[in-house]
């Protein structure tokens, strides 16, 4: 197994309002000092690239995305996806960076990461048919909370036993 390797995989479409949450988190984290065993990647909408990245044996893979969970806009969630994610490809677009789709595809291809979590944020506005650049106020305000949550996850994994 690996020795503290962590992937922070940020996902989102900057042209669809709050769907750019993951990209904004990546931009914020890129300005910080990350430990050498932490890999930060902004996958944007490249779902197939995300799937292949998840095939590597990470100790922790943190997926960052806007995801509706029914809460108030700007609510940040830590989601531990069910280990029994389905293996069916029916209806999945390999080019759309949906974390659950990417996880399902990676698992069906033999994904070996120890732990995968999703740091998600409840969107307020996904831009509609015409799209929109920029995060809504509550989602923009949640970026700092998500960054703090990610830094705490990284610290926990990299702490010596």
Domain locations in the chain as residue ranges: 6-158
Classified as helix, coil or strand, 76 is strand
CB-based contact 145:77 (threshold 8 Å): no
pLDDT at 2: 46
Give dist(CA 83, CA 111) in Å, integer.
Answer: 11
pLDDT at 21: 94
Q: Exposed (0-12), middle (13-18) or buried (19+): which is 39, by Cβ within 10 Å? A: middle
- The pTM of this model reads 0.82
Q: Give 6-158's CATH code, choosing from 3.40.50.80, 3.40.50.1450, 3.40.50.300, 2.40.50.100.
A: 3.40.50.1450
- 28: number of Cβ within 10 Å: 15
Per-residue pLDDT of the chain (161 residues; tens, 9 = 90+): 445 699 999 998 888 889 899 999 999 999 999 999 999 999 887 777 888 788 888 899 999 999 888 889 999 999 887 644 443 333 333 434 566 667 666 676 766 667 888 899 999 988 777 778 989 999 999 999 999 999 999 998 888 65
pLDDT at 91: 37
- 19: number of Cβ within 10 Å: 25
Give dist(CA 13, CA 97) in Å, integer.
Answer: 9
């Amino acid at each position: 197994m690996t020795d503290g390797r962590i992937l922070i995989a940020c996902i989102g479409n900057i042209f669809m309002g709050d769907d750019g949450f993951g990209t904004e988190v990546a931009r914020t984290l890129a300005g910080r000092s990350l430990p050498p065993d932490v890999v930060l990647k902004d996958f944007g909408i490249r779902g197939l690239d995300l799937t292949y990245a998840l095939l590597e044996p990470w100790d922790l893979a943190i997926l960052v995305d806007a995801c509706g969970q029914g809460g108030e806009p700007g609510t940040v969630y830590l989601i531990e996806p069910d280990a029994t994610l389905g293996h069916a490809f029916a209806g999945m677009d390999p080019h759309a960076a949906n974390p659950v789709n990417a996880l399902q595809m990676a698992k069906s291809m033999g994904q070996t990461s120890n732990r995968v979590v999703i740091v998600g944020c409840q969107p307020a506005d996904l831009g509609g048919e015409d799209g929109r650049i920029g995060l809504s106020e509550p989602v923009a305000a949640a970026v700092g909370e998500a960054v703090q949550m990610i830094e705490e996850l990284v610290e926990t994994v990299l702490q010596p036993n």
